[in-house]
Amino acid sequence: IVPEAEAILDKEFPVLDKGFVRLVDYFGGDQRIVQSARVSYGEGTKTVSQDGALIDYLLRHQHTSPFEQVVMTFHVKMPIFVARQWVRHRTGRMNEVSGRYSLMKDEFYVPEADKVSPQSKDNKQGRCDEAFDAEKANQIISTLKEGQESAYNNYSSLIDEGLAREVARINLPLSLYTEFYWEMDLHNLFHFLKLRLDSHAQYEIRVYAEILLEICKKVAPMAT
């Protein structure tokens, strides 16, 4: 039991305009790491400083298997285009809401005006650091909202006409919010964070990674 982690279980941490991250469950913490490294159980006679030094040694020398002993399960809500980047980390285990079984909610991601930027000239997969001026940005946001509203109205109409949910959903845009449970061990979560906290990562996934990092600090503060 890690008291700091217990205190945030099932607490929603808001992300973007409608998303969130929740820590649903966790297995182990710093003590699990050091116990695994020492191949022992129980508290033993080691001090906190010794535990911290051991964890630091393991990290520096890339002895990763003890960190795999710590596992966290999250409930996350995010736009589909963020989720498609997320699942590139194939070491995670996930179960996502299904548009075949459920009616999709009228919830779409709309960026803030200061996040509406032109294509970068030197980064083929990213945006410029500077946003459009406020008038141009608001015009683009209005266009995004109109497209989302039109797509969802068409989806709802097709559902009302009796079309199967699995077919009616196919024109819904990537800005639609989805939800899933995601489980990952601490070693692979560190790799996720290394990539998704980088300044080159897309802003919309980076803000989720920032929340995950703060949660990791509650579960395994010495390792994080």
Among this protein's residues, is 196 annotated catalytic? yes
The 8-class DSSP code of residue 131 comes to: P
Q: Return the SS3 of 39.
A: coil
| Residue of 80, 56, 76 whose CA lies nearest to 67 | 56
Task: Tell me how far apart the alpha carbons of residues 170 and 148 are, in angstroms, rounded to a whole number.
Answer: 13
C-alpha distances out from residue 74 to 124, 154, 179, 182, 184, Å? 31, 32, 10, 5, 9
Which pair of tokens denotes residue 15? 């992300």
List 22, 32, 169, 196, catalytic entry: 196
Question: Do 107 and 16 touch, CB atoms closer than 8 A?
Answer: no
Return the ∠ at Cα 107 (arms to 105 and 112), rounded to 5°.
175
Return the active site residues. 196
